[in-house]
Amino acid sequence: MSRNKTVAVVGATGAVGAEMIKVLERRQFPVGKLLPLASARSAGKTVTFRGETVTVQELTENSFEGVDIALFSAGAGISRKFAPFAVKAGAIVVDNSSEFRMNPDVPLIVPEINGGDVKCHKGILANPNCTTAITLMALYPLHKAFGVKRVIASSYQAVSGTGAQAIAELRQQVEDITAGRPVQPSVYPHQIAFNVLPHVDVFLDTGYTKEEMKMQNEARRIMHLPAFKASVTCVRVPVYRAHSISVNAEFERPVSVEEARKVLTGVPGLQLVDDPAQNRYPLPLYVAEKDDCQVGRIRLDCALENALAFWVAGDQLLKGAALNAVQIAELL
Ligand code: A2P
């Protein structure tokens, strides 16, 4: 790829967008021109890229003239409305929202797993749900070794997954509670500080939330495994950054902890941190701002046949969002 790509970041002032700009810089993506886009509220604000100040512009239908790659992270509604204009202008879209993830014309990519699917794109590529991407970083190598059948999982999701306003809300609530002031939830339906909310995304008729079904639906596409099943409970926790997932996975073939550890050693993008005797296991605090996800607490599941229980953690702004999106752009 030549050094002169014009790269638009839609949602440049948001939690993921800001990270995308940092990742582009850190990985020396061949950006000739950076075009940070956000709502009219943010037009005129600035971001810093490679030591230079770049002005944020309002996103409009005409924003994509001359853009080669457009990284979208401003929510599904914005992607639905504006991604077609980007494609029409000749840009390739890498979309972090859920809008196109189940569209058969749109490859859904975790580069370490199904990077080859990139070549099937028709202008738009989708970045998976953050919890799904982080879980699959550990589950997929195990699947290759033992053949996964189904998964039961619970997530412990950081507030940054909701966006910049949710980070501010947790900070404000911690300050208010510490100062003895009453708490006023606004982003979440309940107080998030010193609490956990078994509620991420909207509820479906089945009683699951949309977020909970993403693991099954998106993993089927990413692993090319249409019969894969996942029953997930997604929980929002008062952690600023990095998601953790408790996974119980049942396999076709017999498993052992020793073999699982071997399979999970040396996987690109994944670190094995599994030494309970030394209190060593993945922690959201320690994977925050790290590119690699971590897996640990690997044990034989005592309630299922041919099954493993394990714990994965990863920075959802990076592997779960910005890093994965830039990795997809790199494959292009
Ligand atoms: P803005 O800061 O101008 O509202 P987060 O996920 O952290 O909440 O960030 C959401 C991102 O999406 C922000 O950059 C936000 O810009 C952007 N955004 C929200 N609504 C629009 C819109 N109508 N047009 C363009 N960008 C939008």
Q: How large is the average pLDDT for residues 209-214?
A: 98
Predicted confidence (pLDDT) per residue in 5-21, tens digit? 999 999 999 999 999 99
CA dihedral angle for residue 267, residue 271, residue 272, residue 275, rounded to 10 degrees: 160
Element (H, E) at 16: helix 15-26
Q: Which amino acid, residue 194? A: F
Q: What's the fold here for domain 5-127+322-331?
A: Rossmann fold (3.40.50)
Q: What confidence score (pLDDT) does residue 223 get?
A: 98
> Look-up: residue for tokens 């490859």?
107
Q: Can you give the residue ranges of every domain in the chain? A: 5-127+322-331, 132-316
Predicted confidence (pLDDT) per residue in 169-200, tens digit? 999 999 999 999 999 999 999 999 999 999 99
Q: What confidence score (pLDDT) does residue 283 get?
A: 98
Residue nearest to atom 22 of ligand 1 (CA): 39
Does the pLDDT of residue 2 top 80, yes or no?
no
> Look-up: residue for tokens 């971590």?
294
Q: Which atom of ligand 1 is nearest to the CA of 59?
A: 25
Q: What are the structure tokens assigned to 51, written together?
A: 């030591």
Among candidate residues 323, 325, 328, 332, the one with its CA nearest the CA of residue 290: 323
Give the global pTM.
0.96
Predicted confidence (pLDDT) per residue in 299-320, tens digit? 999 999 999 999 999 999 999 9
Pick the CATH number of 132-316 from 2.30.140.10, 3.40.50.300, 2.40.50.140, 3.30.360.10: 3.30.360.10
Residue nearest to atom 23 of ligand 1 (CA): 39
Percentage of the chain modeled with pLDDT above 70: 99
Q: How large is the average pLDDT for residues 27-39?
A: 98
Q: What confidence score (pLDDT) does residue 3 get?
A: 61
Q: Is 243 a catalytic residue?
A: yes
With 0-12 / 13-18 / 19 or more C-beta atoms within 10 angstroms meaning exposed / middle / buried, residue 131 is buried
Distance 169 CA to ligand 1 centre (A): 17
How would residue 75 be classed by pLDDT, with cut points 50, 70 and 90? very high
Residue nearest to atom 20 of ligand 1 (CA): 39
Measure the CA–CA gap between 87 and 94, rounded to whole angstroms.
11
